[in-house]
Amino acid sequence: MAVQVGNRVIDIGVCTFRRPELADTLRSLAALRMPEGFDVGVIVADNDDKPSAQALVAALSQELGLPIRYRHAPARNISVARNACLDASEADFLAFIDDDETATAGWLAELVATAEASGATAVLGPVRALYRPDAPDWMRRGDFHSTLPVWVHGEIRTGYTCNVLLRLGAESLRGRRFSLARGQTGGEDTEFFDQVHRMGGRIVFSPDAWVDEVVPRARAAFDWLGRRRFRVGQTHGRLLSQNAGGIGLAKQLGLASAKAIFCFAAALPVVASPVRRNRSVLRGIMHVGVVSGLVGIRELRLYGQPSPGEGGKRAA
């Protein structure tokens, strides 16, 4: 990719696995309002066993006039693809967006503006879920699929890769890669950003850096949300167990168990309200996952395997 003298560089990493929606993602990137003073390129890391996305990427790069570098990163392990983007980039910033998301016109400019104003290591943006007409009413009203960061005592301690900008020169990011062991269970991004935070990296939020994601039918179901929440809890429990032992571990187990019981009990008085009931039950399932992670139960595998009716696409 040609770089103008004096301009800084942003790469946008897109990890893909047999998703035709990748075309919409790339078209949205071509329509971005580019940040002034930056050259922008795209890295597509194909996680399929065969380079199945290569022809589509080549055709769209020519059609859209978008500088795209294709990397075949096989293994059906999402961490392999994420690391391929990190390895391929020598830019000042690297953004990540998922292959089933579309960026709003100001997405990248908003992320960059927040990064420049804050000096943060990582900037997270919001993901807005778009529901199909046949999605359950309670799910649409409760908006169970949109993604926002979690604040703990006024700070963001971990993050996600579905909408983020990384300052690659930051000390807490030097040589850091996503865990291959978590590349099929999920939670690799939670662990990655947890380590960034522990190493002194600061994570901030850019509330206007929106990306959109259409919720497919396979995910518009309570059981999918339950599996996802359980796995999120497992990852959190594993991270807690790495820094707790003996009495500390026992305290964490007791706390997570109490939270699970409380959430399930809190669902009873609101059983007639599907949004409130399901939100409480799902939080309880997450805390059960924390207990599972604390005691070392093997984490659910969410990547690299077929989903019902999805013809081999990754499950999460």
How many CB atoms neighbour CB 128 within 10 A?
Answer: 17
CA distance 112 to 125: 11
Q: Which residues contact 186 (CB under 8 A, 6 or more apart)?
A: 78, 231, 235, 299, 300, 302, 303, 316
Question: Is 60 exceeded by the pLDDT of residue 301?
Answer: yes
The string of pLDDT tens digits covering residues 122-174 is: 999 999 999 999 999 999 999 999 999 999 999 999 999 999 999 999 999 99
CA distance 95 to 122: 9
Question: Is 60 exceeded by the pLDDT of residue 243?
Answer: yes
Question: Is 50 exceeded by the pLDDT of residue 312?
Answer: no
Mean pLDDT of 266-294: 97
Candidate from 116-120, 247-251, 269-273, 289-293 with smallest mean pLDDT: 247-251
Question: Is 50 exceeded by the pLDDT of residue 314?
Answer: no
| pTM listed for this prediction | 0.89
Question: What average pLDDT is seen over the chain?
Answer: 92
Question: Is 50 exceeded by the pLDDT of residue 175?
Answer: yes
More confident residue, 46 or 75: 46
